[in-house]
Structure 1
Amino acid sequence: MTRTEYPWLLPSAMAAPDDPGPAGKPGGRRRPRRTVRDWVVDLLAFLFAVFIGTVALDAADQAGNSEGLLMADMLVGLAACCTLWARRRRPFALAIGLGVVQVVSPLAGGAALVALFSLAVHRPFRPVAVAGGVGLAGMVGQAYLRPDPTLSHLMAIILGALIVLLFIAAGMLVRARRQLVVALRERAVRAENEAALRAEQAQRLAREAIAREMHDVLAHRLTLLSVHAGALEFRPDAPPPEVARAAGVIRDSAHEALQDLRMIIGVLRAPGDEGERPQPTLVTLDALVAESRDAGMKVTLDSGVDDPAAVPSTTGRTAYRIAQEGLTNARKHAPGTGTTVLVSGGPGDGLTVEVRNEAPLGPVPHVPGSGQGLIGLTERATLAGGRFEHGPTDDGGFAVRAWLPWSP
């Protein structure tokens, strides 16, 4: 359900004149066609105004007015009631005019009250107050020019003022209710849009998390494949044992890469699905270092953590990924050099992970996409509540260092 289905709920229909302007001219807009509801409401307003005016006309008849005056009163009153069909286009002018006409024609009093009610529904308080003042003045004038013989002047003025204020209050109440409906509908639409944005943001964060995991996991395996495949390419005359060893490492790395890929795809599954591999933690750091040594790297592990199993799983997994990315970068950008992995810390002090490699033996090879892993590690450390630093060392090497919180 939209606001276009209910044009009378639009704020423009409540606060701005409803003059459609000439069709086709600049600034003009075509007047909407009357609906069945509009015809029913206009007919009921006309009949209600005639009923109220008839009651007032009966009181004037009891005052002993001539038949000619009563006939003129009836014609003027019916004409005033007929003008209510135009109240949607000129509500303010109509309310002012009928407030003046009711002074000489009691039958027009009902039309004046309906016009005030319609003005209070579609316009703000200031024009309603002006038209209400004119209506009250008309009631006072009618009480003196066309008095009701059953009421005193003071009682007629008080009763007329109460009726005018009652119709104005009812119109303002309807206007407030319509504005509340419009506000609630806008709030519902805004809530739906915000929910869609949150869902889109959640999907984007999930895609980024999966992409970061794929980079951290697969880059390590694919680098091993690249190193040993390059060794076979540049040393075709290598002894058969070395060729077999390199081929075995390539086979094992490809198998591990496939397993890691299955593990990443498992992130997309619902919790509890079978086939998910355990996530790495600080306990598996020794296996990572051993795997890098088997690939030909010179890696030294210096761990000052007494019990790696006591490290929280999230912190240990983040530390493992940082060390894995540091070893991958050292293997890509400084092959053949020594690399040191330092791990220290304890509960309450936090966990510090540092990977430092020596200066490259030759020109640093350019690798497409370099730097993306460091960006991912920065995000990982930040999400874990820690810090991440990286940059060249004094001896020409490169180091990455992260501090992660470790609650006692």
Structure 2
Amino acid sequence: MEEMTCMIQCENITKKYALYSRKVDRLLEAMRPGGRSYHKDFYALQGITFSMHKGECVGIVGKNGSGKSTLLKILTGVLTPTEGSVHVQGRVSALLELGAGFNPEYTGYENIYLNGSIMGYSREEMQRKLPEIIEFADIGDFINQPVKIYSSGMFVRLAFAVAISVDPEILIIDEALAVGDVFFQLKCYKKIEDFKKQGKTILFVSHDQSSIIKYCDRAILLDKGRMVCDGAPKEVIDEYKQILAVEKQQNQPHSEEAMPEEERESICWKTQYALNEKILEYGDRQAEITDFGIFDESGNLATIYNRNSVYTIKMKVLFHAEIQNPIYAITFKDMSGLEVAGTNTMQENVDTGTVKPGQTVTVSFQQKFPFQNYPLFLSLGCTKFDGQGELRVLHRLYDVLCIQTLGAKITNGFFDIDSKVRIAQQ
């Protein structure tokens, strides 16, 4: 068997910074070498050891401040480790901080040549690559404008197009794709798939856990500058979720499990989510959806969703008028507005009774999340039929929350149909 080529080798990488409480302390320490220390040591990385071989795609995950970006900067030569050694073999193309390597006063065209020269390419070589870069970036006439007027999305489009055009042997990406629109992200991930097929080595940081599971052969988890684990993406993500859960529990003044039921129910669920700032809501407000959340099988508020696991969507509805047989509804839509799934209490043949003014009703919808790795938007509603049989909207919240399930298996369409395949040979 042919021995795999080692492209990146890190041995005991440590990055230490000196932190000073006052500006003058730096000067005092410099004037007294070997004397009193006026600083505290901060370790951005401590003892990181790992290797990557040709053709591997490795993801790095961890909370903000865990050392992910510092590690990538060391690998690309932007930073020098305090201790340890780094060996990188092959041409590296890196997409680190947004706009890094770009002159804001130059046009897109000029920055293409500037980035090419930084990576060792002549103007003639970049001239040949120009049509491919412009086509992939797809920013129209803005290619002729100074990049200082670019949106973050235009920045990343151009930067990614340049990074992949130089035919790197190692591609390093630091969270940059998160600022692009979803269709550009799809285009980028298709390019990453192509690079993998070509046997190129890819290392990237992403908070999109589904992408780590889907595209990476391995994943590395960092926490507070230390390596927690290096292994199969699904196992590493599970470990990461445990770290997040423990941190969240520590930050709460009391454990939810230890609270009385009344106090636990008083927690505002929706504050735990990144909600849609441009939410569409309307209705006559005879009833009002005051809170909502998604809960796992243990009854804990969930913000990460595993495909085909069971979750309960809850919403609290405060009534300002007496309503007979209110209808409660949930709907999932994709980015184009297509309704992918949904139900309501009338379709489920649930008798909701009569609700008095001042009453709050908590409605629960329990079901599996069989969705594929697509962003889906949750909408909530409360309606009723009036005396003429017309549907009246009391309160609706459209596209209030985005969910995305995690799952290693890739199938077609919106749902994992959980097919069981058998093959019998005659």
TM-score if structure 1 supplies the norm length?
Answer: 0.19
More strand by share: 2
TM-score if structure 2 supplies the norm length?
Answer: 0.19
More helix by share: 1
